[in-house]
Amino acid sequence: MMLWLVGLLLLVVGFLFFSIVWPLLVLFECIICLASLAAVYQERKTWLDPRVPSLTAVGMTKVFCLNVVWMTICFLGAVVTIVEAAVTKNWLDLRHTREFAHKVVERRCAMLVASLFVGPVVIKGIENLPADEPGSPAPVYVANHASQIDSAVVYYIERQWRWIMKSSIMFLPGVGQITYLGDHIWIDRVKRKNKSKDSITGARNLYVKSDNSIQEGVPMFFFPQGTRRIGERLPFKDGAFKVAMNNNSMLVPISIEIPLTAWNSLYPFGKAEPVVLTVHKSIESKGKDIETLKKETSEIIYSVLPDHSKQE
């Protein structure tokens, strides 16, 4: 009798899995593949500059695979984050959930996909990183933005922060869910009709929530160029510097040098040139105007990077 009941239970579980769960998993992976194809398209546009090598079939395949793995693991990590909060009874402790999502899931996932598909990451000037301890003044991190690779390798500095993120990222499978749990800041990059500046993704939200984050003790991280360019040195926008000035925060400039072979190399089946992160000495924001801060920061960041715009 017992064996018959166990067999019936296994039959029911198997039926439910293959009729409901399995199709949902297949559908979810199909959505991830479509989102990854869109990421390939966006990254390919970044590398279309004639002064840098465009993405080869190998490069585009690696971009696709990186995004599939990234989104899948982030989704699993989001589930783990929710389960962890339930098991440890930290449902109402939003700080705990944010730190688990950011420090454990986001960080380890980003470092994993970088090591699998990009190559080694070298950090110079690590002694210039501010302390990551409760009660320490929260700085504003600022880095150049050349490729999707940047968003993964910056986690190697192993510090906490909040990003400013396009609101459309909310809808990315896995990545949207884990960054929501990580309590990052969403903003619309395109102005919409009848959209209030005070809405959750309105322009004013950037400064209010960034100031709140700094005052809470959580640093902010900005790519002040506002968009990705591998072959061009774009001017910096004001956002990061306004936040630093509003809170008298130290600015921490970080230069990210991505080798031009990063995507097109045969890595992980061969050697790869390292991505180099250079952490510069902090810049005092107090008593300076915004244009001075922008000029000083951009000159420091670009000082150790190759200028592809000067290449024929």
Domain residue spans in the chain? 103-310
- Say if strands 275-279 and 220-222 run parallel, antiparallel, or are unpaired: unpaired
Which comes out higher in pLDDT, residue 225 or 277?
A: 277
Q: Is the pLDDT of residue 70 over 50?
A: yes
Helix (H, G, I), strand (E, B) or coil at 202: coil
Which comes out higher in pLDDT, residue 298 or 134?
A: 298
Cα 43 → chain centroid: 14
Cα 136 → chain centroid: 23
235 half-sphere exposure, CB direction, 13 A CA radius:
6
DSSP 129: S
Contact by Cβ (8 Å): 255, 144 = yes
Binned at pLDDT 50, 70 and 90, residue 244 comes out as very high
Binned at pLDDT 50, 70 and 90, residue 23 comes out as low
Q: What is the pLDDT averaged over residues 162-181?
A: 89
Q: Which pLDDT score, from 0 to 100, does residue 248 have?
A: 92
Contact by Cβ (8 Å): 275, 149 = yes
Least confident span in 53-67, 68-82, 160-174, 236-250: 160-174
Q: Which pLDDT score, from 0 to 100, does residue 190 have?
A: 55
Least confident span in 155-159, 192-196, 239-243: 192-196
Q: Which pLDDT score, from 0 to 100, does residue 19 have?
A: 60
Among all chains, which residue has been given the structure tokens 């940047």? 150
Binned at pLDDT 50, 70 and 90, residue 17 comes out as very low
Superfamily of the domain at 103-310: Glycerol-3-phosphate (1)-acyltransferase (3.40.1130.10)
